[in-house]
Amino acid sequence: MPLILDRNEVLEMYAFAREKKWVLPTFNTENLTTTEAILSAVSDYGKEIGVNNLPIIVGITNTYKDRPQSVYYSHTRNWEIGMRLFLKDLDVLTSPESPYGNLNVMVHLDHIIWDDDLELLNWDMRQFSSIMYDASTLPFEENIKKTAQFAEKNRDLVLIEGACDEISKADTSGNADDLTTPEMAEAYFSGTGVDIIVPNLGTEHRATASSLKYHGDLARKISAKTGPHLCLHGTSSVSQDELTTLFEDGICKVNLWTALERDSTFALFSDMVKNASKLIGPAKTKEMVGKGLLGMIADSESKPSLDYYTTTYRQDIIFRRMKEIIKQYLSIWYR
């Protein structure tokens, strides 16, 4: 079915998820392979549990410095071209002819920066189901003021997620930012009028491993004040065992991206090493063995083959592994 863009229909989806005790997953993407892996995984998982129209949110950042995903969506490295391609991809993949045409797909703009993304913020917001308006680089009071202005202007057009605090980044200082206090969250939520807030609950963006602690106790204290309107970011930094209580903690939406890319790379790399000669031929394989880059047991006899040296081969491995990762998360949040 077509994308769910109407604000009231989006709110109905959230209410439906809440009734089911589901946490709505948002998987971000920066290429067609990932976009399709998300839809395909949800479609497969739905078939396994006997629901053919599961809701799913597909997200993308714009010029967000930590990961400008619309910029990466095309090799033009132009955000506008990338954003338009992303919307077209989703449009075609959710059309009635598509195998993913039954899904309830919502599209999310993630980390849209209050000053850098002014041009995008002037687009018709009705093309999107939700937007995370990010003014978290400003001092707290100014963040509230800026976000309230945006919410005032766009409240009828799109569901608004607000960034109460900055989420820490794994590859910067090493000093984690302070966690959001329930008092701050309450002041932000009532002061801005956003639908959903993103507090800092101890997770990290772009983590290289899933070894951090998610502070569910804090999420419960915050949601006791604001209601169950929290969104968790930096989810890849936490092990899946830590993510089973999100619904009870008052989290209604969860954002995830890093783990998809991080954890599919091993699958691709292993397969390429194992089949080295089919990818690059005996001569180049032997050269790599000679340089110590591959072991002696690497296949160095096979002829190169179209089944191995194409972009299709590489994307297929990524696609399949991403689907497995996504399905594992879905089994936690769509229980």
What amino acid is encoded at 173 in this protein?
S
Distance in Å, CB of 173 to Zn ion, minimum: 18
Cβ–Cβ < 8 Å for 39, 58: yes
- In 10 A of CB 177, how many CB atoms? 16
Sign of CA dihedral 116, 261, 57, 207: negative
Distance in Å, CB of 47 to Zn ion, minimum: 30
Q: How far apart are CA 333 and CA 335, in angstroms?
A: 6
Q: How far apart are CA 82 and CA 69, in angstroms?
A: 8
Q: For residues 215 and 233, which CB has a smaller minimum distance to Zn ion in the complex?
A: 233
Distance in Å, CB of 65 to Zn ion, minimum: 12
Distance in Å, CB of 186 to Zn ion, minimum: 21
Q: For residues 233 and 323, which CB has a smaller minimum distance to Zn ion in the complex?
A: 233
Cβ–Cβ < 8 Å for 212, 238: yes
Beta bridge partners of 37: none
Q: Which residues bind Zn ion (CB under 5 A)?
A: 233
Tokens linked to 22: 């589901």
Q: Which ranges of 227-275 does DSSP label H, i.e. alpha helix?
A: 258-274
Q: For residues 61 and 104, which CB has a smaller minimum distance to Zn ion in the complex?
A: 61
C-alpha 292, offset from chain centre: 37
The residue at minimum Cβ distance from Zn ion is: 233
Distance in Å, CB of 330 to Zn ion, minimum: 20
